[in-house]
Structure 1
Amino acid sequence: MTGTHRAQRAPARYWPLLLLSLACGGTPAVGAEPAAGLSPPVLETVHVTATRRFATELEVAEAVTLIDADGIARQAPGVLAEMLSGQPGTYFQQTTPGQGIPIIRGLKGSEVLHLVDGMRLNNAFFRNAPNQYLALVDAFAVERMEVVRGSAPSLHGADAMGGVLQILTPEPTFDSSEWQAQGRAYLAYRSADDSVVGRAEAAAGNTGQAWSGGVTWQRYGDRSVGGGDVVGPTAHDARSGDLKWRGAVGTRGELMFSAQVLEQPSTPRVDELVAGFGQDHPSSAEFEFQPNRRSFLHARYRLKNGTGWYDRIEIHLARQIITDDRLTREFGSTERIEEANESTLDGMTVQINSPWAGGRHELVWGLEYYTDEVDSSRVSTDIVTGVSEDARGRFPDGSTMDSAAVYAANRWDWDRFMFEAGLRYSRFDVSLPAAADVEAVSVAPDDLTGDIHAAWELAPGWRLVSNIGRGFRAPNIFDLGTLGPRPGNRFNAPNPDLKPETVWSYDLGLKASGGSWQAELFVFYSDYRDKISSVLTGVVRPDGRLEVRSENLLEAELYGIESGFRWRLSDTLESYGALNWVRGSEDDSAGNATPADRVPPLNGRLGLVWEPADRLRLESWFDFASAQNRLSPRDESDPRINPDGTPGYGTLNVLLGWQADPRLELGVRLENLGDKRYREHGSGIDASGRSIGFWMNALF
């Protein structure tokens, strides 16, 4: 029996180049196999998201980042996006515990395409701002997470403006015709929020088929921040389960069926319940997401040929239902609002890989179709009189958003040069029924987008790469029709007159790999036209909230540098790091230039791993960020952000792992040893203070 197959996970998939002699990067624990000692960084990692085919990191022209299951187990993140903190080109933002998003090259929310096993997580009410939906994917049921940094319009299309984040779940394989079984038990604890995470999973099968599944339970208490203060209410729970079956169909085909569900029964919105910067009282007396839930059903068919006009055909069918129910009450109000919001997203994708010229070149082509329907309602109840009445939902009830696309990308490979070019045609049909405050809206934008990628081998192990892409994103139902309170003491008014946004994205990079090191350095520039952003209208609502609505800005620019490295100093010692710098500006319709919204400060990570014996791992890493004083007008009025700027910080962390047995790993993790009180820029809560964590990972 081979056990769970880790999809050719390679311990050394951190490259980045040491920039200005400083860096900080990859997740400290990412990529090391428990009992094998330090693995040579020259071992390359397989990526499938960047090119929709198997390719090593050095072969891929795009800037990519990979997180694996071992790193997740050691870090025990509260939400999956935490794993991208300290990685090249990414930043972690958290509005409230139980939620969190990655910011990729300064972009967030619906500006980044999120996928789960190849199917869209982004739905019709996915916000172009921090949101909770990525947190509805179980971090402890993930095989690996792949991030493509930069626009990816031809292969991935809408929402892939700043990048693509794909989550891939485990697919166990067995090498015997006899039935075999395996299992795993995982347990983790962290003192800063008195959290406990437990997961149990099992798999059984043979060479013809395999069953796998598991359940995860998470409990979090109120958060202790630097200096010992406890912020609350932040306590919440999450529970999830997953089931998957894979089976051979004939000699060349394979079917897969899977189901995933995660629910947060009641999660408080801490930034609404605790007074922020510039506030003498909180915005809300009550604010709970109850419940938030994601259900996902997925079927996949693969057919391998090896001869003829195709090498592989892959067909996906999926249904995703996201429930975003809320209970809210404004501070000082007797009116309690209960919301019910639900998106039902059905999708079908077809992908065909067709090598030609003896396999030296390859055409990847296919089609996609998604249809999304949004149900939304509100009930208002006076908590004094008990009188209830129906009200217009957050979104127009019965709104729909359909999309269809065809794409093709061809890759040419020569001895030292690779060139890839792709095109995609996309069409959207968005329909919002009439409501009391807005007329019916129907828009049908379409566009032809594309990209080119090139890589030149300067010398063995050294590649100069470049990527250019033109992306396109149609306004979704959130952009067009949202009505109601927003975080940061704001109130969103609908704007049915939005246009699509487009972006030209450019980057130039150097990837290098030697006998004991890997490194990467990228510079990038993105030029947005008609970028959709939430702006102040100048209206102050009777409840004191500032009215905002989504509008097309004339232009926005983002540019920066991202870098990282991994260097094996000896057989037992290895260092790694990454450093990111982003700068952004936006021009409004009057031509006024301001800093871009929520752009991360200079940030990074520097780490050292020491393995004096095969079964022992000692790791220390230093996370840091400089102050961020370049604030947009929205930043300055956002109670989550200090109007004088977000102070910089540095934290020291230590991890000790012990492979007590080939099937049992134990560890302890010490975080924020200096008990620094700090906040990641744009977040709605301070980060955890000094904390001790434990984990156990047992195979059976």
Structure 2
Amino acid sequence: MKFSVSMGRVVIIMIFLIFTTGKSQEIKVLDFYTKEPIVNVAVYNHDKSTTALSDLGGLCDISHFKANERITFKHLSYEVYRTTKAQLLKNGSNALMVLKHEQLDEVVMSISKWEQQKKDIPHKIVTVNARTVAFTNPQTSADLLQNSGKVFVQKSQLGGGSPMIRGFATNRLLLTVDGVRMNNAIFRGGNLQNVISIDPFTINKTEVIFGPGSVIYGSDALGGVMNFYTKRATFSETDSLSISGNSSLRYASANNEKTGHFDINLGKGKWAFLSSVSYNDFDDLKMGSHGPDEYLRNNYVVTNNGVDVLVANKDPRKQVITGYDQWNFMQKISHKPNNNWDLDMGLFYSETSDYSRYDRLIRPDSEGSGLRSSEWYYGPQRWFMGNVQLNKKGKGKFYDGLKLTTAYQYFEESRNDRSFQDPVLYSTKEMVNALSANVDFENKKIGDLRLYYGVSYVYNQVNSDGSQKDITTDISSDSPSRYPDGSTWQTAAAYLNGEYKAKPNFTLLSGLRYSHVWINADFDKTFYPFPFDDANLSTGALTGSLGFSWFPRANLQVTLNGSTGFRAPNIDDVGKVFDSEPGSVVVPNPDLEPEYAYNMELGIRKNYNDKLVFKGAAFYTYLVDALVRRDYLFNGESQIEYNGELSNVQAMQNAAKAYVYGFELGLEAFLTENISLVSNLTLTEGIEEEDDGSDTPARHVPPTFGDIHLVFKNRNLKTDLFFNYNGEISNGDLAISEQSKAYIYAKDSNGLPYSPSWYTLNLRTQYQLNRAVKLSCSIENITNQLYRSYSSGIAAPGTNLILAVEYGF
């Protein structure tokens, strides 16, 4: 009896050991940077006598391999990885694989809102993935776009970043977050800062479409679309709770940045939760030493007991006042009841402190001996979004995939300005409530034809008020609002997009969209005798695209695409009252129509034996009925008083045509297994044509810009030595509106404003200390150049040391 009991215990123990041993030898194959599972990785020993394959969760059984046997991991999209079984188990049973430099079969979502092979897309699309974001360590999402080397970014202040793509900017570019339109009814033609509300720590991937994207995204997508996809909550591969997360700390010397981030993911088999929080604290930005003296901050205004005094800046390279701080929060909840349905909910909140508009603080007064403004700052920029997305896979009667996306957004911003030695502080505050719903379908039933179609609806309500406060008496009173309070903007649309693979090497992509836009705004005549009571616009637009992707040879790709885009007037165009520049005031104009863009793009990509890849694109865009700011008569008057100053009257008008053309070139050279060379160059030209036949340089056309990167990378270390370059824009090539802002530009030999060329030399490195700890160190602008990017009101950082540490668990 004792023997049988003992034997029973032994059997139980042996079964337990076999079970636990087998379980411990099941490893997970993950992406080195994103930690996402990799499917269909071939795992084998040197003579391939023992093989295995990773499943949908990246899991792979290596129990049949010997402890010190050399194991190879191979996947088409990843670098070959070799290790031993013992080392794998020692490292936490994870095999981390590094993505190859260049992948033709990269999947993108921006063209149809569904996954498509990038090689089948005729549009130019640039992807910035999570591993690139982690390596470049951008302070804001505007810097993330700029670091790509393919998007030009303008900054009027440190708390800013306004992208320019192919000669278009601000409300002629579209922003989306997780498929939800971020552009609202008060996106303006002036520079925008909304992109900084998106936390770069939460971004999984950013896709930038170059050229019109109106077929899928509707109004505003004239020059391009920037799609930000944030990280999703991840499920556990078993029924037990899985816990993972990251924490990061970063410091930058140029603006004494102190940033902290933390996120945690809790995953079960059918439920997952991801929480994220980030905090940024920026001090005043310090510029470089070698460059135009016109950029120096020689003096600034100090207010004591209600009295403004102009004081000398002890350090003219310090840009007083530019510092601010920002909080970002994100909560994701995912539910997957079965293999066909999944539900994702996202909550986002971003808030800045007050931050100065630096370019307004350096404007000289009319005598040129002092400064015009004592204060000019934005109040807290707040953004909230709650979105719910329902996805269904599987065969339906009219679709193979269904995606329902609903969202609510709240935007808040304010402007506050006070002239030098004027006791009155003028303020306006805007709040936008935005509702949206999209239903998107994917259908793959008709042979080689894939159809994508859907409908969308967006509703915006704008609340706006104005006030003025005497800082000496602390007495406040009402003043004009920036926009008609309670005005609404809404749009409804339907689209159809088709992808037809005529041959294995030839894909045709085409689409149509009809959009209708309504505006309703009632004008308050308390402060201004408007010659109209309201603005009621109802307008529609039909847009389309047609293009192909062709591989005449396996190593050569040719793309051609034609597309149209439109932008309907919004509340900012129709109903705004504000000072656009010194001595000018913009007033409402209810008689506006949409502007339309017609675009052609030719692209080529040549691969030389996987050692050298050349990419090129040529584009031409023609804009008609362009909405531009021009002189205007208000009740027959060309001047009115605004905030105590007699100002020239202007208004938005369909008063111009424009054409933009250029070239975008890219080169990747894989010199050795570990060393590569990457370079980008963008050349753009643009002209605005007036109704009277005259023409002027377009405002949002950036100078020629480019970069060259020499990259070394092995499994644990990545180093990037790179050179950034911007060309000159002479005085004659400056837009008229830019020539009037001489105080933000350098002076040429004739004393006229111009934007000089500049360059920076930079070094960036990242080291994976172990599975959990990652260290980063960068030195930007090593030669301490003093420069200001075109149209920017703030000078760029001087030599900037950036240190960061990331811990993952």
Q: TM-score range by the shorter chain?
A: over 0.9
Query: What secondary structure is seen at the aligned counterpart in 1 of 2:753?
Result: coil
Check 1:644–1:289 CA distance in 2 against 1; reply closer, same or farther (3 A cut): closer
Q: Which sections of structure 1, spanning at least 5 residues, go unmatched?
A: 10-30
Q: Is it true that 1:669 corresponds to 2:803 in the alignment? A: no
Check 1:441–1:508 CA distance in 2 against 1; reply closer, same or farther (3 A cut): same
Residue 110 of structure 1: how far off its partner (Å):
0.8
Q: Is it true that 1:464 corresponds to 2:558 in the alignment? A: yes
1:149-160 mapped onto 2 (5 Å cutoff): 149-160=210-221
Partner of 1:55: 116
1:24-43 mapped onto 2 (5 Å cutoff): 39-42=100-103
Alignment equivalent of 2:190, drawn from 129, 133, 149? 129
Conservation of the 8 A alpha-carbon contact between 1:50 and 1:64: no
Q: Could you report, residue by residue, the CA deviation over 1:447-466 in whole angstroms, capped at 9, with x for unpaired residues?
A: 11111121111111321111
Partner of 2:486: 398
Check 1:574–1:320 CA distance in 2 against 1; reply closer, same or farther (3 A cut): same
Q: Is it true that 1:176 corresponds to 2:285 in the alignment? A: no
Check 1:374–1:233 CA distance in 2 against 1; reply closer, same or farther (3 A cut): same
Conservation of the 8 A alpha-carbon contact between 1:8 and 1:46: no
Partner of 2:506: 417
Alignment equivalent of 2:724, drawn from 614, 623, 636? 623
- Say what the alpha-carbon RMSD is for the aligned residues: 2.4
Residue 273 of structure 1: how far off its partner (Å):
1.3
Alignment equivalent of 2:456, drawn from 365, 368, 383? 368
Q: Is it true that 1:604 corresponds to 2:693 in the alignment? A: no
Alignment equivalent of 2:247, drawn from 182, 185, 188? 185
Conservation of the 8 A alpha-carbon contact between 1:147 and 1:163: yes
Partner of 1:351: 440
Alignment equivalent of 1:559, drawn from 661, 671, 686? 661
Conservation of the 8 A alpha-carbon contact between 1:5 and 1:171: no
Q: Distance in 2 between matches of 1:315 and 1:5?
A: 28
* Higher normalized helix content (fraction of residues): 2
Q: Which moved more, 1:106-115 or 1:428-437?
A: 428-437
Q: Could you report, residue by residue, the CA deviation over 1:453-483 in whole angstroms, capped at 9, with x for unpaired residues?
A: 2111111132111111111111000011111
Query: What secondary structure is seen at the aligned counterpart in 1 of 2:573?
Result: helix
Q: Distance in 2 between matches of 1:671 and 1:487?
A: 33
Check 1:213–1:319 CA distance in 2 against 1; reply closer, same or farther (3 A cut): same
Partner of 1:381: 469
Conservation of the 8 A alpha-carbon contact between 1:272 and 1:282: no
Q: Which sections of structure 2, spanning at least 5 residues, go unmatched?
A: 1-27, 40-77, 82-94, 290-314, 633-637, 747-751
Q: Is it true that 1:693 corresponds to 2:693 in the alignment? A: no
Partner of 1:533: 628
Q: Distance in 2 between matches of 1:544 and 1:75?
A: 48
Partner of 2:577: 483
Query: What secondary structure is seen at the aligned counterpart in 1 of 2:472?
Result: coil
The one-letter code sitting in structure 2 at the alignment partner of 1:653 is: N
Q: Could you report, residue by residue, the CA deviation over 1:385-444 in whole angstroms, capped at 9, with x for unpaired residues?
A: 433211221111001001100110111112221112111111111011122133211101
Residue 345 of structure 1: how far off its partner (Å):
0.6
Query: What secondary structure is seen at the aligned counterpart in 1 of 2:119?
Result: coil
Partner of 2:342: 254
Check 1:208–1:499 CA distance in 2 against 1; reply closer, same or farther (3 A cut): same
The one-letter code sitting in structure 2 at the alignment partner of 1:615 is: N
The one-letter code sitting in structure 2 at the alignment partner of 1:56 is: Q
Partner of 1:574: 676
Q: Which moved more, 1:663-672 or 1:631-640?
A: 631-640
Q: Distance in 2 between matches of 1:188 and 1:591?
A: 53
Q: Could you report, residue by residue, the CA deviation over 1:80-128 in whole angstroms, capped at 9, with x for unpaired residues?
A: 1222226465211111111102101111011011101001100000012
Residue 599 of structure 1: how far off its partner (Å):
1.4
Conservation of the 8 A alpha-carbon contact between 2:365 and 2:372: no
Conservation of the 8 A alpha-carbon contact between 1:284 and 1:331: yes
Residue 59 of structure 1: how far off its partner (Å):
2.0
Q: Distance in 1 between matches of 2:798 and 2:161?
A: 18
Structure with max Cα Rg: 2
Partner of 2:321: 233
Q: Could you report, residue by residue, the CA deviation over 1:151-207 in whole angstroms, capped at 9, with x for unpaired residues?
A: 112111111100110111001323223211101001111000000111000001123
Partner of 1:633: 736
Query: What secondary structure is seen at the aligned counterpart in 1 of 2:349?
Result: strand
Partner of 1:523: 618
Q: Distance in 2 between matches of 1:684 and 1:345?
A: 31
Q: Distance in 1 between matches of 2:674 and 2:459?
A: 52
The one-letter code sitting in structure 2 at the alignment partner of 1:39 is: K
Q: Distance in 1 between matches of 2:761 and 2:163?
A: 22
Conservation of the 8 A alpha-carbon contact between 2:169 and 2:700: no
Partner of 1:445: 539
Check 1:503–1:74 CA distance in 2 against 1; reply closer, same or farther (3 A cut): same
Query: What secondary structure is seen at the aligned counterpart in 1 of 2:381?
Result: strand
Check 1:448–1:42 CA distance in 2 against 1; reply closer, same or farther (3 A cut): closer
Alignment equivalent of 1:657, drawn from 766, 785, 789? 766
Check 1:7–1:474 CA distance in 2 against 1; reply closer, same or farther (3 A cut): farther
Greater RCO structure (CA 8 Å; 6+ sep): 1
Residue 331 of structure 1: how far off its partner (Å):
2.9
The one-letter code sitting in structure 2 at the alignment partner of 1:624 is: Y
Residue 6 of structure 1: how far off its partner (Å):
5.1
Q: Which moved more, 1:332-341 or 1:686-695?
A: 332-341
Query: What secondary structure is seen at the aligned counterpart in 1 of 2:624?
Result: strand
Q: Distance in 1 between matches of 2:669 and 2:436?
A: 43
Q: Distance in 1 between matches of 2:106 and 2:584?
A: 44
1:200-215 mapped onto 2 (5 Å cutoff): 200-215=262-277
Partner of 2:261: 199
Q: Distance in 2 between matches of 1:431 and 1:367?
A: 22
Conservation of the 8 A alpha-carbon contact between 1:41 and 1:516: no
Check 1:489–1:675 CA distance in 2 against 1; reply closer, same or farther (3 A cut): farther
Q: Could you report, residue by residue, the CA deviation over 1:346-373 in whole angstroms, capped at 9, with x for unpaired residues?
A: 0000000011334x21110000000000
Query: What secondary structure is seen at the aligned counterpart in 2 of 1:82?
Result: helix
Residue 222 of structure 1: how far off its partner (Å):
0.4
TM-score scaled by length of structure 1: 0.92
Partner of 1:543: 645
1:19-98 mapped onto 2 (5 Å cutoff): 39-42=100-103, 44-85=105-146, 87=148, 89-98=150-159
Partner of 1:26: none
Q: Is it true that 1:314 corresponds to 2:403 in the alignment? A: yes
Q: Distance in 1 between matches of 2:646 and 2:759?
A: 36
Conservation of the 8 A alpha-carbon contact between 2:164 and 2:700: no
Query: What secondary structure is seen at the aligned counterpart in 1 of 2:744?
Result: coil
Conservation of the 8 A alpha-carbon contact between 2:219 and 2:566: yes
Partner of 1:493: 587
Q: Distance in 1 between matches of 2:716 and 2:338?
A: 43
Residue 383 of structure 1: how far off its partner (Å):
2.1
Q: Distance in 1 between matches of 2:613 and 2:117?
A: 13
Residue 5 of structure 1: how far off its partner (Å):
5.8
Q: Distance in 1 between matches of 2:231 and 2:400?
A: 23
Partner of 1:138: 199
Q: Distance in 2 between matches of 1:307 and 1:403?
A: 28
Partner of 2:281: 219
The one-letter code sitting in structure 1 at the alignment partner of 2:680 is: A
